[in-house]
């Protein structure tokens, strides 16, 4: 898989950046979750982020925001 980095969505033209960030997150979901779960053994913040990523409501909300 090509290396994908989450993007910042601040600024005046934030909608294209927001859409790009959602696309990157959805394509790399398994890898991001795997990395956070491995890092969660030493890092409480990573553990919290991994827990949020596993939440089904968050995933449904993000998919509803995604413009296809």
Question: What residues does each domain of the chain span?
Answer: 15-41+62-66
Report d(CA 40, CA 29) in Å as an integer: 16
pTM for the predicted model, two decimal places: 0.69
Q: Using 50, 70 and 90 to split pLDDT, how confident is the model at 21?
A: confident
pLDDT at position 46 is 93
Tell me: pLDDT of 1 over 60. Answer: no
Name the residue among 45, 24, 27, 25 with its Cα closest to residue 36: 45
pLDDT at position 37 is 94
pLDDT at position 4 is 65
pLDDT at position 7 is 62
Name the residue among 32, 37, 41, 40 with its Cα closest to residue 59: 32
Tell me: pLDDT of 40 over 70. Answer: yes
List the structure tokens of 58.
Answer: 């968050």
């Amino acid at each position: 898989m090509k290396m994908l980095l989450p993007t910042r969505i601040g600024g005046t033209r934030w909608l294209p950046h927001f859409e790009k960030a959602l696309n990157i997150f959805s394509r790399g979901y398994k890898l991001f979750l795997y990395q956070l779960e491995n890092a969660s053994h030493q890092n409480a913040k990573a553990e919290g982020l991994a827990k949020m990523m596993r939440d089904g409501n968050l995933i449904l909300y993000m998919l509803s925001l995604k413009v296809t």
